[in-house]
């Protein structure tokens, strides 16, 4: 059996999953983007680094308004959300340079949603030889860069490419 030491995961494991607060609503309302790992905002969406990433550069895109599923979004929110996912693909290509991406939505606990009640889309950079997507059995993950370094790198790219993004208006 292989044992991997990942102390940063303990905060998540011990966190109150039944808390009334919503991390994505907190991110949307926060003023300190770096503390909340928010790398980009549009009028209707936020992009944040996953504090417990599956891979380096793992992003989450969420509507700014609390909504639990795609059916709860109006058309403008839905279009903005997916334009923002597309912008994430561009930002990751310019910064992390992955060989591929996994883009996914988990709605409901049985579907694997770690945060219930606030829809979010995972954008996970993939590299040859990395571990399985959304690991369910014991596998190894190597995250080669700190969250703060990844934040600074992506924030600067989003600042440049996000300025011309249609979803920002």
**Which is the catalytic residue, given 40, 58, 118, 120?**
120
Strand segments, DSSP code E, in 6-153 are 38-41, 45-49, 59-63, 100-105, 121-126
Q: In what order do the strands lie in the sheet with 38-41?
A: 38-41, 45-49, 59-63, 121-126, 100-105
120 classed as catalytic: yes
Q: 99: closest CA among 109, 111, 89, 107?
A: 89
Tokens matching residue 167: 């979803």
Length of the chain, please?
169
CB count within 10 Å of CB 152 equals: 14
Q: At what angle do helices 147-162 and 75-95 cross, to 10 degrees?
A: 120
Would you call 10 helix, strand, or coil by DSSP?
helix
As given in the structure block, the two tokens for residue 50 are 């996953």
Residues noted as catalytic: 120
């Amino acid at each position: 059996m292989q044992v991997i030491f990942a102390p940063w995961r303990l905060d998540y494991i011990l966190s109150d999953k039944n808390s009334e607060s919503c991390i994505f609503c907190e991110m949307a309302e926060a003023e300190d983007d770096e503390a909340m790992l928010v790398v980009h905002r549009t009028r209707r969406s936020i992009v944040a680094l996953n504090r417990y990433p599956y891979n380096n550069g793992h992003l989450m895109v969420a509507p700014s308004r609390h909504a639990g599923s795609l059916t709860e979004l109006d058309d403008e929110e839905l279009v903005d959300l997916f334009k923002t996912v597309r912008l994430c693909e561009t930002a990751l290509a310019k910064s992390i340079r992955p060989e591929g991406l996994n883009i996914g939505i988990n709605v409901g606990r049985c579907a694997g949603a770690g945060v219930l009640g606030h829809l979010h889309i995972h954008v996970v950079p993939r590299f040859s030889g990395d571990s399985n997507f959304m690991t369910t059995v014991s596998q190894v993950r190597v995250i080669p860069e700190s969250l703060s370094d990844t934040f600074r790198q992506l924030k600067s790219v989003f600042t440049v490419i996000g300025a011309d993004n249609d979803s920002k208006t």
